[in-house]
Structure 1
Amino acid sequence: MTDLYTREWGAGDRIALLVHGITTDSTTWLRLGPELAERGYHVIAPDLPGHGKSARAAGYSVESLARALADSIPHPPELAIGHSLGGLLLATAVEEIKPERVIYIDPAWGPGHPSIAEAFRAQKHWTLDDVRSAAPRFTPEAHVNKLESLALWDEATLEIIPALTGFTPAPPSARTLLLLADPSNVVTPDQAVELTAKGFHVHTVPGAGHVIHHDDYPAFLNAAREWL
C-alpha cells in the first residue's frame, strides 16, 4: 500500500477502483462514486501523486505513477475505471491490478507533445469563468471542483507528456469497454478499429467531450450499464 490520499464510498463486498486524469483528482468522481456505492460497491478513488491531497513526488513518470496506483489497491477490484491519464496508468498496471471488468474513458493513449503540456500548464491560471467556458456541460459543482483541483495540482507532473510516444495496449484479459469522446483526440478511428479486433468493446458517446462522465453523465451510464 502507498500513502496516496483515497476517497471512498460505500461498504459493499465488491471493489470499484476509479482513476482520475491529469490536473484533476478524486473529486471528479463525486457523482459516480455514490452511484456505484448504491449499486453495492466499495468505491476506492485515489488522488494520484501530485494531485489533490496526495503528496508531490520528486519526479514523475508513467511507470512511477502506475506503480503508486497499483500499490494503493488492497485487493483486486471487480470494476476499474480510468479517465485520460488514469486510463493510461490503469492500462499500464492492469495485469497487476487484475480487475474483472475495465472501463477506459477516452484514455491518454496517443503520443504526447510540448503543446499539450503548455495547454495544461495554462489551466493553472484559470478562473471559474475560464472553467465554465472550457467545460460548459459540466455541472456547477464540477466547475468548482475542477478549479479547486487545479489549485492543488503539481505542474511538474507535465514532465511525463513529452516522453509519451503512444500506448498500444495488449489484448484485454478482462472484459473491457473503451468509451471515446466524439471525436476523440487520444484514440484515432483506425486505432479504434484495431482495438475492436483485439477484443475491446469500443463505443463513441455522441457529442461528448473528453471528460465524458461530466459532459453527458446519463449517456455515460447508459453506455457503461453492462459493466457497472
Structure 2
Amino acid sequence: MRLHTSTWGSGDRIALLVHGLMADHRTWRRVGPALAELGYRVIAVDLRGHGLSGRAAGPEEYRPEDYADDLVETLPAGAELAVGHSLGGLALAQALERLEPARAVYSDPAWHLGAGPAGYRAEVFVRGKSMTREQIRGFNPHWSEEDLDAEGAAVRLWDERSAYGLREFVGADLWPARATVPSLVTLADPSMLIPPDAARMLASRGFTVRTVAKAGHTIHRDDFDGFMSTLGEWI
C-alpha cells in the first residue's frame, strides 16, 4: 500500500519519520520542522489505517510485515536518518534492510508486546477511540494544546481494527537480532516496553540506548527538548 506522506524542508539530506499506533504524521509537528532547520528534507508517513492513508481489508492485514512493506513501497531508500516511534519503530526495524538508511533512531519501540493484564490488550486501545480531549490530557499532562488537538484528530481518523491485527504477536520475539546500521534507542522513564534487562540486551546487540528522564512513552511530545538533545550526534 502506498502511504500518504507529509514533508518539511528541502535539504539535500533525507530524514524519515514513522509514527506509532493511533497517531499520524501530526505527532511530528515539532520534530519535522526542527530537522528541516538542520538541512533535512523530512518525510513523515501515515501508516495504513492511520491519518489519510488507506485502510486494510481486515485486522489480518495489519501485521508488522504489512506496515514494513508499505514503508518500503512509499519511502526512498538510502535516507540519512530514519526515526520510528512505538509501532513505527517495529515497522522500521522490519523494513530497515530494504530502506537502508545511514542511521536509525527507535523511540520507545514496540519490539515486545507483553502478555497478561499489564501487557498488550487491543481492547484498551480501541476504547481510546472515544477519548475526549480532557481524557487525552489526563493521560498526557505535559502535552501542549496543539498536541492534544492533533492527537484527538488522529484518533478520530484511526482504524481501530489495526489494534486487533497485533494480537497474534503478543509474546512473540520481535527483537532485532543486531543493529545493522548505527542505531539509537531512546527510552521513556520508565519504559513500559523496554525494561532494564531488555535495554542491556539491546546494548549487547550493538544499539546505543539512552533514556529521557521523566518522559512518557511519546517522548517527543512529553519533552521535545529532551528528545532532540538525546539525538545529539545522530542528527
Compute the TM-score of the two structures, normalised by the length of structure 2: 0.93
For residues 102 and 206 of structure 1, do their structure 2 counterparts lie closer, same or farther at Cα, with a shift above 3 Å needed? same
Q: Does 1:191 align with 2:198?
A: yes
Task: Name the CA distance, whole Å, in 2 between partners of 1:192 and 1:179.
Answer: 10
Match of 2:87 among 77, 85, 88: 85
SS across alignment from 2:165: helix
Task: Name the CA distance, whole Å, in 1 between partners of 2:182 and 2:138.
Answer: 36
Give the CA deviation at 1:145.
0.2
Q: How many residues are matched? A: 227
Equivalent AA in structure 2 for residue 223 of structure 1: T
Q: Which runs of 5+ in 2 are unaligned?
A: none
Comparing 208-217 with 69-78, greater Cα deviation is found at 69-78
Task: Name the CA distance, whole Å, in 2 between partners of 1:11 and 1:90.
Answer: 23
Q: Does 1:151 align with 2:159?
A: no
Structure 1 match to 2:74 = 72
SS across alignment from 2:234: coil
Task: Name the CA distance, whole Å, in 1 between partners of 2:228 and 2:208.
Answer: 15
Comparing 21-30 with 53-62, greater Cα deviation is found at 53-62
Query: Contact 2:11–2:40 at 8 Å: present in 1 too?
Result: yes
Query: Contact 2:5–2:44 at 8 Å: present in 1 too?
Result: yes
Give the CA deviation at 1:115.
5.3
Q: Does 1:54 align with 2:59?
A: no
Over residues 161-191 of structure 1, what are the superposed CA-to-partner deviations in whole Å (9 max), with x where a residue is unaligned?
A: 2122131102112111000111111112111
SS across alignment from 1:226: helix
Q: Does 1:220 align with 2:227?
A: yes
Structure 2 match to 1:129 = 134
Percent identical:
45
SS across alignment from 1:124: helix
Query: Contact 1:112–1:162 at 8 Å: present in 2 too?
Result: no
Query: Contact 2:113–2:120 at 8 Å: present in 1 too?
Result: no
Alignment of 1:159-174 (within 5 A): 159-164=164-169, 165-174=172-181
SS across alignment from 1:54: coil
Over residues 41-75 of structure 1, what are the superposed CA-to-partner deviations in whole Å (9 max), with x where a residue is unaligned?
A: 01000100100011111131111111001111123
Query: Contact 1:112–1:166 at 8 Å: present in 2 too?
Result: no
- The 4+ residue runs of structure 1 with deviation greater than 3 A are 112-115
Equivalent AA in structure 1 for residue 75 of structure 2: I
Structure 2 match to 1:9 = 8
Task: Name the CA distance, whole Å, in 2 between partners of 1:57 and 1:218.
Answer: 36
Task: Name the CA distance, whole Å, in 2 between partners of 1:198 and 1:115.
Answer: 25
SS across alignment from 2:124: helix
Query: Contact 2:2–2:73 at 8 Å: present in 1 too?
Result: no
Q: Does 1:108 align with 2:107?
A: no
Give the CA deviation at 1:120.
0.7
Equivalent AA in structure 2 for residue 151 of structure 1: R
> RMSD of the TM alignment (CA)?
1.2
Task: Name the CA distance, whole Å, in 2 between partners of 1:116 and 1:145.
Answer: 24
